[in-house]
Chains A and B, each alone.
Chain A
Amino acid sequence: MTKTDRQLFLALLLIGVFLFVCSQFFFYQPNPQSRVVIKVSGEIIQTIPLQKGTSQERFIVEGKKGKAIVEIKELKVRMLEAPCPDQICVNQGWIDSPWQTIVCVPNEIVIYLDKEAPVDAITG
């Protein structure tokens, strides 16, 4: 191996390491942790990480018709109050599975758990 070869080897190695480090940042994904996603009119307005042992927490969400209150406890979430006539979202109660969604149509609020689900969709 000549001196030139060694220099070339070193240069290519450096480029390789540089690209590898870049790709790590590019494809970086945080650890999958269960979290609640709240959307209003299609826009994600809040994500809240869920943890075992956390006490009750309440969040005010500004929906299309007014203020709604979302409650989180340990690994589950529910719509506590919402200004809608049918109260379907409130009556649904707690959700704790990745395939469940709380939808308040009049307020255009969607709440779900961002976890890997074993199915693509559910019918029910």
Chain B
Amino acid sequence: MNKFYLKLGVGIFSVLLLLAGVFFFLQNQERQLTSEQFLMDTLVSISTYGTDTDFLQQVTEKAFKEIRRVADLTDRFPSPGTIAYEQSDVVKINENAGISPVSVDEDVFKMLQIAQDYYELTEGEFDVTIGPLMDLWGFGRETQKVPTIVEIQETLALVDSRKLILDEEKQTAFLSQKGMSLDLGAVAKGYAVEKAAQVMIEAGVEKALINAGGNIRVIGKKDNNNAWKIGVQDPRNPSNLIGVLSLNNEAAVTSGDYNRIVEIKGKSYHHLLSARTGYPAGKNMSVTVVALDSGQADLLSTSLFLLEPQQALELVSRLNNVEVIIITTDKKIMCSPGLREKFEYRSGEGYSYDQN
């Protein structure tokens, strides 16, 4: 009988050893941590992957904090008297239009500098001083209306990036005419997402996906052999994906004529206004930009949306590490050459995909 207990003991011991092994294996298994917060007028979701969930939790919190910081700095409509109102550099610059230069946060200054560059590159179609025109249409406000031609002409006189004076040495910004105002709606979200991504990369995160309402930034690869799969929405049928992008360590941002639309007297209008004409731009249904930097992708998706498709492709060919998918209003899908490897066209009703 003694022999039996000995053998049983050895048996149980080996089973426990095996269990310990399995436990150790599970402990070191990759886990996913997803957190969501409502920031910058959208749902921001951050998914991180790794073995140490406490670490992932901490980094995710830091990343959200960074997004919130940029959101507060660039908020255009905080209620007066609140802390948010005090913290917004955009409010300060707008309130001091025609009065005096305002010293601003380093990140706000950078955003304005990049916005100025794209004002030049798009020959004035994209303009960060579009505030008065957005207000005239009522975007971001409770009620919207179609302005008259006279109102548009009058307001366009207040939209002029050449009157946004940036002083690099003093890090100040100044709108030189009273009534002018900045709207960082096309810049801030992508910039904030990139800042968050940088916080995570610096902390040592190797795999993550940040999704701020379709403004996507991926860190690393999905797994050893596969890239992240990012669907591109069909602009006329939200249940359909027009195609799938395979991305690693990149950002993808889309500007579409179907987002944030308002209906005025039975007609719908989108918020991507041309700073040249004062009306919603009408050549494209959607423009998806793939770039290394989410801030650049965000700004470019709006800028390119406002341009003629050929003009947009031409501009992309002059930029490094930037690719684009353009879906025109006559349902032609065009890709920049560098994207052919990364974009897999699926299908969509009535679209024609031009491989060249």
Contact = CB atoms under 8 A, between A and B. Distances in A.
Interface of A: 4-5, 7-8, 11-12, 15-16, 19, 39, 42, 85-86, 88, 91-92, 95-97, 99-101, 103, 105, 108, 110, 118-124
- 4 tightest A-B contacts by CB? A124-B233, A119-B231, A122-B231, A119-B229
Given A120-B230, A123-B232, A123-B253, A8 B4 contact: yes
B216 A100 contact: no
Interface stretch (B121-129, B166-174, B254-262, B276-284): B254-262
Interface in B18-76: 19, 35-38, 41-43
B148 interface: no
28 contacts: A4-B7, A8-B4, A8-B8, A85-B142, A91-B261, A91-B263, A92-B238, A97-B239, A97-B240, A99-B231, A99-B241, A103-B213, A105-B38, A118-B231, A119-B229, A119-B230, A120-B218, A120-B228, A122-B230, A123-B215, A123-B231, A123-B232, A123-B233, A123-B288, A124-B214, A124-B254, A124-B259, A124-B286
Nearest to B140: A86
B209 interface: yes
Nearest to A42: B36
Contact of A123 (B7, B43, B252): B252
A112 to B, nearest CB: 10
B15 A15 contact: yes
Nearest to A11: B8
B211 interface: yes
B11 interface: yes
Contact of A118 (B7, B229, B245, B263): B229
A120 B3 contact: no
Nearest to B142: A85
B100 to A, nearest CB: 34
A118 B222 CA distance: 13
Contact of B4 (A7, A96, A101, A105): A7
A123 B4 contact: no
A123 B216 contact: yes
Contacts of B261: 91
Interface string B320-353: 0000000000000000000000000000000000
Contact of B43 (A19, A97, A103): A103
Nearest to B226: A120
Given A95-B238, A120-B222, A122-B231, A105 B42 contact: yes
Contacts of A124: 214, 231-233, 235, 238, 254, 256, 259, 286, 288
B11 to A, nearest CB: 5
